[in-house]
Amino acid sequence: MDIQLSQCFIAVEDHDQALAFYRDALGLEVRDDVEFEGMRWVTVGSPSQPEVDIVLEPPLADPNASPADRKAMAELLAKGMLRGIIFRTDDCDATFERVRAAGGEVLQEPIDQPYGVRDCAFRDPSGNMLRFNQSRAR
């Protein structure tokens, strides 16, 4: 039995801001842009991983969610309390410079971690944490 990752989801407050970051700053390609019942989903992904999609979705992608639940999710997103994504890169320092030059909010400059990677971290426009890892030779 073989199981592979197909999609992962990131909550975003503003899809146009998210697109400017994920497409323009990170260089991901836009694969789909769908609106349904007043909500929007944008799918992006790395050209080198056509089988893996990142879906940029509303903070609470449920048309039946209560206003209180929508407010709670928006507050968690604004605080940066929702999970983000860890990307793999072959050059952490170059990736850091590219994302910083594009206006990414720096959380951590590139450093060597004791668990075998060199990494850096940013927040996307919605507050999600994104890490960029480069494997180190042991």
Q: Which two tokens stand for residue 35?
A: 């609106």
Sheet of strand 117-123, all strands in order from the earlier edge strand to the far edge: 85-88, 129-135, 117-123, 105-112
pLDDT band at 83 (very low <50, low <70, confident <90, very high): confident
Euclidean distance between CA atoms 128 and 100, whole angstroms: 16
In this predicted model, what pLDDT tens digit does every residue of 23-76 receive, in sequence order?
999 999 999 999 987 889 999 999 999 999 999 998 887 778 888 998 898 888
Q: Which two tokens stand for residue 31?
A: 């694969």
pLDDT of 60: 80
